[in-house]
A and B are shown apart, each in its own frame.
Chain A
Amino acid sequence: MNQLWIGVIGASIALFALRYSGYLVPEKFLTNARMLRINTLIPIALLSALVGVQTITEKGKWVIDQRVAGVFVALIALRLKAPYFVVVISAALTSALIYRFK
């Protein structure tokens, strides 16, 4: 079995286990204030890290290319309170245009 399959099946098992355990564990177990605070911050850290890595790196090297422009346009769209779809598509369009004409 290759890595991609292990990723797909492993993530599926992990997510189900996380969800199901919520229905089994007594409530007070996971609800102390510090745990809750950290839990809301973890997605912010991980998702921001993913934005950075996907925009600036390629195969473990720093690469500045059309992606930076695309993500910058997405950032402007978000600041203008554009809906999610407009954000993603404006990034794609920008990146595709630069890729085609560079």
Chain B
Amino acid sequence: MSRVNRTTATQSVSVSFAVGLYGIAFGAAGIAAGFSILQTCLLSLLTFSGASQFAVVGVMGAGGSALSGIATASLLGIRNTLYGLRMAPILKVRGWKKVVAAQITIDESTGVAIGQENLGREAMQHGFWLTGFGVYVLWNFFTLLGALGAQAMGNPSAWGLDAAVPAAFLGLVWPRIVSGFERTLAVTALLLAILLSPYIPAGLPIILTALLAVIFGWRTRV
């Protein structure tokens, strides 16, 4: 790799820190949901996708089956396929590098790469790798920290972790709600999942709301 320009480097590092820190919230959420420190850390190392990881511990912590947890995580992870499609022609990677690139293909690495478009393809590549590795290292470090902290705390309710987890989800969905259309979808999905919860197995009420997204997205918005 040739020299990285300063704009790209600064952006990559600040995004990595800002996002990596959330790892604490995930580490704590994993423990609060009944996962071990090892399992919580493996989710960050292997699954490595914030919303999907929170979904696994959220769904299974509420009593959902492994299958519901995996299905919800997968539905949330489909966007990573689209990021891969976007990055493939820019990175032009082969062999094991393609495997590494795939593993660090997330919202942030793709976002920073796209943000460097006016600086050329090389800057886009630098942005992708720097942000991808930066978030990976920090996210995993802070996951371990959060998991150890939560383990030491004991009862999750006494420390407010029971509310921190839904608040973390709310913080993830908030920036995606850009108009009344998304707000209607969000409120409908929230109410539907709550209403269905006592009647069907845990995890399913969440997965079923993906159908709402299909219905809402089917027709072009006017």
Chain A CB within 8 A of B194 CB: yes
- Segment touching A, from B8-16, B78-86, B111-119, B123-131: B78-86
Contacts of B148 in A (CB 8 A): none
Query: Residues of A within 8 Å of B, CB-based: how many?
Result: 75
Contacts of B193 in A (CB 8 A): 48-50, 52-53
Q: Provided the pairs A21-B84, A30-B81 are in contact, do residues A15 and B167 lie with their beta carbons within 8 angstroms?
A: no
Q: How many A-B residue pairs have CB under 8 A?
A: 311
Contacts of A87 in B (CB 8 A): 167, 170-171
Q: Quick one: which of A1-50 are within 8 Å of B by CB?
A: 3-12, 14-16, 18-23, 25, 27, 30-31, 33-34, 36-50
Whether B160 pairs with A48 at a CB distance below 8 angstroms is: no
Query: A46 to nearest B CB, angstroms?
Result: 6
Residue of B nearest to A33 (CB): B220
Question: CB within 8 A of A66: which of B51, B157, B174?
Answer: B157
Whether B187 pairs with A48 at a CB distance below 8 angstroms is: yes
Q: Provided the pairs A3-B65, A16-B46 are in contact, do residues A91 and B197 lie with their beta carbons within 8 angstroms?
A: no
- Residue numbers of B with Cβ under 8 A of A are 21-22, 25, 34-36, 39, 42-43, 46-49, 51-56, 58-60, 62-63, 65-67, 69-70, 72-89, 93, 98-99, 101-103, 105, 157-174, 176-177, 182, 185-187, 189-194, 197-198, 202, 205-207, 209-210, 212-214, 216-218, 220-221
Q: List 5 A-B contacts (CB under 8 A).
A: A11-B74, A23-B87, A46-B207, A70-B163, A78-B171
